[in-house]
Amino acid sequence: MLDRFIGEEANLPPGVYVGPVRRHLAIVDQSRLHCDCLKLALAHQPRRWRITDVPTAPDLARLVQQGQEFDVILLGGSTCAHIDLADIALLAAAAPQTPILVAAECDDPQRAHAILNAGARGFLPTSHSLKVLMGALERIRAGGTYVPLALTEIPPAASLPRSEGPWRELTRRQRDVLALISEGKPNKLIADALNMSESTVKAHVKQIIRRLNVANRTQAALLATRMPAAH
């Protein structure tokens, strides 16, 4: 069956597969083997994806500038240390409406948090299954986020130091908001989790940025993720 599929695929334009096309996925990965294996695997899923694969983020940014539109961007690397935060920023700026899912081995949880804070909508360790990948793609395509449980197990907001530096300036509620910001959650999901309005979350974020003396929420989140090392 696989041989038949490969034969049919040879007669199609790059990135176009047999069966109904419902979604357009961009894969950015320098590994040719990773791309080919993933394309074959996704082609046999009930919900088929049209796939465009490129080796680098600037290559994909150029396609976007030429008018290409994508439902999801999958940025791959062997480990999270090999994921360039500048690539995430470039893609987020080039296609602000397209969610980014990063797939890499999670050898450094702090780096994985930095990837999320840089603009990725989700992070998927490559030790997870294809079924989990499909669920993550669908989730972020629909506007959600995907973060594995291991990366959500950060120190609770109540453990943020109160007596040292700028942390003492934060209220308990602001520490709760900051903890969720450090997980890469957008304001809407923070509001749902803390049972408050989105406008209230925005007000808390503004105060957090001011009280921590940082430029934006990304810097506040990075400061929060570094917090355990300061103990």
pLDDT digits (tens, 9 = 90+) for 188-227: 988 888 888 888 899 889 888 888 878 888 888 877 766 5
Q: Over 70: is that where the pLDDT of 20 sits?
A: no
pLDDT digits (tens, 9 = 90+) for 121-170: 999 998 888 889 999 999 999 888 888 877 765 443 344 444 445 566 77
By the 8 A CB rule, do 22 and 46 touch?
Answer: no
Tokens (6 digits) for 211: 């009280």
Percent of the chain with pLDDT over 90: 22
Amino acid symbol at 93: A
Residue 6 pLDDT level (bands cut at 50, 70, 90): very low
CATH number assigned to the domain covering 157-230: 1.10.10.10
Distance of CA 121 to the CA centre of its chain: 3
What's the pLDDT at 103?
94
Task: Give the chain's length.
Answer: 231
Residue 75 pLDDT level (bands cut at 50, 70, 90): very high
Residue 118 pLDDT level (bands cut at 50, 70, 90): confident
Closest CA to 184 of 126, 114, 101, 105: 114
CATH number assigned to the domain covering 2-152: 3.40.50.2300
By the 8 A CB rule, do 54 and 26 touch?
Answer: yes
CA triplet 86, 91, 96: central angle to 5 degrees? 125
What's the pLDDT at 222?
78
What's the pLDDT at 98?
94
CA gap 23, 169 in Å, rounded: 46
Sequence ranges of the chain with CATH classification 3.40.50.2300: 2-152
CA triplet 77, 64, 98: central angle to 5 degrees? 65
CA gap 225, 184 in Å, rounded: 11
By the 8 A CB rule, do 117 and 225 touch?
Answer: yes
Q: Over 60: is that where the pLDDT of 50 sits?
A: yes
DSSP 8-state symbol, 116: H
Amino acid symbol at 50: R
